[in-house]
Structure 1
Amino acid sequence: MRLGGRLAAAIEVLDDIERRHRPVAEALKDWGVSHRFAGGGDRAAIGNIVYDALRYRRSAGWLLGQDTPRAVGFGALLLRGEHSAAGLNAVLEDDRFAPPPLDDAELKALEGRQIADAPGPVRADIPDWCVPLFERAFGDDWVGEGAALAARPPLDMRANTLRAGRDKVLAELSQTGARPTTIAPDGLRIAPISGDGRHPNVQAEAAFQKGWFEVQDEGSQIAAMLAGAKPGMQVLDYCAGAGGKTLALSAAMDNHGQVFAQDAEKVRLAPIFDRLRRSGNRNVQVVTKPAELAALSGHMDIVLIDAPCTGSGTWRRRPDAKWRLTQRQLETRMAEQAAILDAARDFVKPGGLLVYVTCSVFDEENGAQTAAFRQRDPRFAAVDHRALWQSRFPGHEAAARIDPEGGIRLSPARSGTDGFYFCAMRRQA
């Protein structure tokens, strides 16, 4: 397929997402099934246009003066900077599978608009109702932070030190372009793709099958390191999900002590069993029964809550979620987070840590949530987060927004990671 056919397909997928309110991955998969003639390169290129259109929906639509699948599809291509409007039209005119070229009205709209002159929410590529949330979270930097959350993401991995060190994994993945991450000492990164490119399928690599590394955002790796799990400890991963942080905690403990992995939704735990077999993590126990969980009460050195949240920190990877999110959903998540904090605290032993983590950038889910919890239960006091960061990642003070009592925040613009929040609270004896 040529560019015109790919753009037409992307507009078709965007229309499907809009009409049927479907997740982007599901819509792209169905398009591929019904268009089996499209090769892997075509599907990747179409997916890039679709994802870029969703990442840049506000700015792409603003350029053409309308928020239609056609407008955001064309706008996303133009924002990539590979074609001028006239150049794109010239390419499309020679492709019978292409959508109609930009018409006079669209060309006139483009002539009079520069993104630098757009309103703040357009440059940030966020919904209007999220503007106050971003202003509270980032102050004067809110537009740049929003724009960074609309960029293409890198592919991050964590070397599994139970099987191989980072240098060994880097040597094995030398053909993929992997490089060491800036902050996380065991992290590897493949840079964001450009144009019609796609990331290599690293899970097909022999090193992955041998358990040498896991796919995990650098921010998630940093959060696991900040938790401070050490050999011999008793650790509860209270919202373990698929087990990414569970595996990182276990590796930090060098398979000594115990990590208990629990999640209220058992189906989310299903992938952890294959991951444990591959990775060689032997000190992890998956907890699925209430009686097993109750037996841990008051005995844990660390209880990690990777709380369910809006996922606003992952919008680079899940841009469709940005436009589906509502105030009501945010409020639902906030209620869930408060309930989980209140339930998980009883597992922390006196002197132990309750660690709260989200992949959200909203203060309502982060610092405000932990501050409200400490008011409800004065037995828990925040650690000195500035001292904690400096002890774990010396020389990287500028990479995080740190409130000594309020916690640590990571973001694409500041740290190059997904958006993450971390807060550790010690239970007083």
Structure 2
Amino acid sequence: MDHLFRQRRISVPKRTSELVALIAVSCTLFLFLHTRDLSTKLRRMEGRLNDDVTAFNHLTDRMPTERTEHAFASAQEYKEALEAIRRHTGAERSKPQRTLEAEPEESQQEEQEYLDELLVPEPWELNNTARAGTEILFFNRVPKVGSQTFMELLRRLSNRNRFGFHRDTVQRVETIRLAPADQQALASIVTSYEPPASYIKHVCYTNFTRMGFPSPIYVNVVRDPVERVISWYYYVRAPWYYVERKRAFPDLPLPDPAWLKKDFETCVLSGDRECRYVEGETHEGIGDHRRQTLFFCGHEPQCTPFNSVEALQRAKRVVEQQYAVVGVLEDMNSTLLALEKYVPRFFKGALNLYWDQLNTFNRINRNAFKPPVSEAVKQIVRANFTREIEFYEFCKQRLHMQLRALRDPTITVPTPRSRRRRAQKNRV
């Protein structure tokens, strides 16, 4: 009897089993649709973050011209383009009013912020300091990015944090790109100092490991490319600049007074050779340091054409793979915070030191002879600095990503969403 009872099957109503099967299929379908939707949104966010060109076009209000590459082969063609740009800047008609896009719902905002947070890497993924082969800081400073201020800051920090401070001597002609033998000599000089030490010089990125030397800790600073060339334009025309140069090199000839009096706006609007910034040029005949990417791309000939795609991509790759921190002059707080967090051996206490002695730092290399430049003229210049601006925006995003990766609630940095909002407001 017990045997028969054990063999007996418990019957389940047919409708109940169908209901269970339906619930199982429904749950599976729901999970599939939800997962697919989330994957699509993640891919969309990743695409937006990685598409630097699209991000740049969204952040800047580029004015249309008949040349998509914004490079002009002749002076006449350049002047024709200037006339077209002037018409678009409001000389003949006013710019159409833009309106802000409707703000998304609160739930969509929270979802977007959550997706943004998922894409933030861990700090170790962005910390190239640990990959250095020696405890020597190499600041291959870009001109006119506040590098004199950072150099003085490093000098004062060297006393507090106990590391050696070294810099290149003032030269009659600053050589940025070096021949292979000179690169070898530079690497030998830098690595000869007793660690921990710092070395500062105006020079392109130099690959130490390729020449058999340990890699230093690379740091640098960038600045808005157009503001930077304007700053350089008036820097080399400042009276005190030539006083300092004559003291160092008494036999230097004085420049033409007409050249000294030429203002930047006239230089641009007249199509002057000095202010044309033609894409693809490898030799501009004057040392105006228009190529900020050159200091990150390297010494190779492929890095010399102005505003080129290859120089841009090389510079981006070097920044990601080699530089501990690339700061942004316009965002000093984020720059000093990142330096403190990612290169603490050298920059511990940098933020407090800078703000405590702000009056001293603000007087360094301040040019009282630099007049304001109109936004219309700046926009004309920006048309030929597309990839230089893209590189600047790339460095800015990387800097903010480094701070976000720390996940420190006391640190406030712009998120991708807040940057998009500011871009929309600026375009109104």
Q: After TM superposition, is the score higher than 0.5? A: no
The structure with higher relative contact order (CA 8 Å, sep 6+) is 2
Give the TM bin, normalised by the shorter chain. Answer: under 0.3
TM-score (norm 1): 0.22
Q: Based on CA coordinates, which of the two structures has the bigger radius of gyration?
A: 2
Give the TM-score normalised by the residue count of structure 2. Answer: 0.22
- Which is richer in strand? 1
